[in-house]
Structure 1
Amino acid sequence: MGIRLIKISAVYFAIGVCLGLYMSMTHVFTFTPVHVHINLLGWTALTLAGILYHLFPHIAETKTAKAHFWLHNVGLPAMMIGLAFVVSGNEAFIPLTALGGTLVTLAVLVFAWNVLKNLKQV
């Protein structure tokens, strides 16, 4: 689970950096919220979770770890696609953004629960 999260975080990092490069080249910064969220919730958060899961494999083997992975990686793309449309002026995508954001929030809460419940001092 740890390595899987680190690998997918690298994909989010590449997407976030490419989006940042596009915005800087075009001088159009409409997608700044998308860029920031992809880098923070995709790259940074998932890398750190992946490192924790790698260092403490017993917490990576839980059902909550699997739930965290899937909630986060379904929710984040949904939220980012919805947010990209919303900041472009298409408010019909607000529900998709909200749904994705809710899934990511649940993922973070599941992750926190997993760490608090299962990570113990040896």
Structure 2
Amino acid sequence: MKGISYLFFVAATICAVVGMAWGIHMSASGDHTLSPAHAHLNLIGWVSMAIFGIYYHVNPKASYGLLPKVHLGLALLGVVTIVPGIVMAINATGEALAKIGSVLSILSMILFLIIVLTKGRDTHA
């Protein structure tokens, strides 16, 4: 694995480790107040990033050009803003960061859809 798929997997694995450690902390403390943020870290950070990495690995022609790099940037910015933003929203200290992270995350997914539609089709079938 190399290139953009590798970078997505590095990000995914970091999110998984942080998410698991956070889950263990919540369990040990008995305080699950922040579980929505923890769930978003695991789903957007671990699952989505890993799926993106798998896609780029099995479809290497889709990994070339500017769009995959923009996709990686949007995906990373999305997860690092939505998770603390959800924490802030739960703690009633503001929702702006969660909203920004949500927009970045959906833009990342829309860009992924564009990449799949434009670079994902096997024209030899």
Determine if the TM-score, normalized by the shorter chain, exceeds 0.5: yes
Task: Tell me the distance in 2 between the aligned counterparts of 1:117 and 1:75.
Answer: 23
Give the deviation of 1:89 after TM superposition: 2.5
CA offsets 1:23-56 (integer angstroms, 9 cap, x no match): 1001111111111111111101110110110111
* Amino acid corresponding to residue 82 of structure 2 in structure 1: M
Name the residue aligned to 1:84. 87
Task: Tell me the distance in 2 between the aligned counterparts of 1:23 and 1:72.
Answer: 26
Task: Tell me the distance in 2 between the aligned counterparts of 1:62 and 1:116.
Answer: 15
CA offsets 1:61-91 (integer angstroms, 9 cap, x no match): 132211110011012111111111211222x
**Identical amino acids, percent of aligned pairs:** 24
Task: Tell me the distance in 2 between the aligned counterparts of 1:48 and 1:72.
Answer: 12
Please list every run of at least 4 consecutive aligned residues from structure 1 whose deviation after the TM superposition is greater than 4 angstroms. Answer: none
Name the residue aligned to 1:106. 107
* Amino acid corresponding to residue 16 of structure 2 in structure 1: F
Whether 2:74 is the aligned partner of 1:63: answer: no
Whether 2:31 is the aligned partner of 1:34: answer: no
TM superposition score normalised by structure 1: 0.94
Give 5+ residue unaligned stretches, structure 1.
none
Pairs aligned (count): 120
Task: Tell me the distance in 2 between the aligned counterparts of 1:30 and 1:89.
Answer: 12
Q: Is the 8 A contact 1:12 1:38 kept in 2?
A: yes
Name the residue aligned to 1:13. 16
Q: Is the 8 A contact 1:30 1:88 kept in 2?
A: no
- CA RMSD, aligned part only? 1.0
TM superposition score normalised by structure 2: 0.91
Task: Tell me the distance in 2 between the aligned counterparts of 1:11 and 1:23.
Answer: 18
Q: Secondary structure at the match of 2:38?
A: helix
